[in-house]
Amino acid sequence: LAKTTQPISMDSYEGQEVNITCSHNNIATNDYITWYQQFPSQGPRFIIQGYKTKVTNEVASLFIPADRKSSTLSLPRVSLSDTAVYYCPQGGGKLIFGQGTELSVKP
Amino acid sequence: GAGVSQTPSNKVTEKGKYVELRCDPISGHTALYWYRQSLGQGPEFLIYFQGTGAADDSGLPNDRFFAVRPEGSVSTLKIQRTERGDSAVYLCASSPRGWAGASIPYGYTFGSGTRLTVV
């Protein structure tokens, strides 16, 4: 399975909205799109998943266009504690992780 | 337990030795996954269990790596004749059930990992 593509790093400031986009060029018809967050010395933590259109939970929103070739994770009003690596793994079951996006939130 | 537990949290071993890494998944989760993660990289898939059987072991790098899950709960990853290149964080994850076609998947719950250092 080819890996997804996302920016290596992003910087933001507290209180801003952050959008991280992922390319899913090889997504399969049945695959859901999932996002994970990882802090140092911890395993990844499941954040959100969706199939198409928009999904929102208490942590983030996920936007998926009709062609499903990309997705955008939106984090509203980030804080310092949102500094982490964010992954959008490929696959519907056997998740294939890329390098992730290292988000740095500054005061 | 409340989460996925991995033991030990840290393991230092000498090159050529045998090691076992243990994973206790969330109670009732039938699917269990092993990944390994090197510094600055995303987790790399190793093996997936559905119940007691290995449904996909295509990520195991070579025959020095082996994993078991004899009773469908606890799993052990075994590495023979360790090499310095095996040094990494080994992550275990579980989910209520594995992938199944068009069914809505469950997110994985990962443990904190075992940091293996081969010297």
pLDDT digits (tens, 9 = 90+) for B66-103: 999 999 999 999 999 999 999 999 999 999 876 654 45
**B59, B44 contact by CB (below 8 A):** yes
* Contact assessment for residue A82 and residue A104, using Cβ atoms and an 8 Å cutoff: no
B46 and B65 in contact (C-beta within 8 Å)?
Answer: yes
Minimal-distance CA residue of chain A relative to B98: A93
Burial of A79 (0-12, 13-18, 19+ CB in 10 A): exposed
**How close does chain B come to A29, measured CA to CA in Å?**
9
The alpha-helical segments, DSSP class H, found in chain B are: none
State pLDDT tens for residues B1-54.
Answer: 589 999 999 999 999 999 999 999 999 999 999 999 999 999 999 999 999 999
Among the listed residues B25, B12, B17, B46, the one whose alpha carbon sits nearest the alpha carbon of residue B95: B25
CB–CB of A43 and B113 under 8 A?
Answer: yes
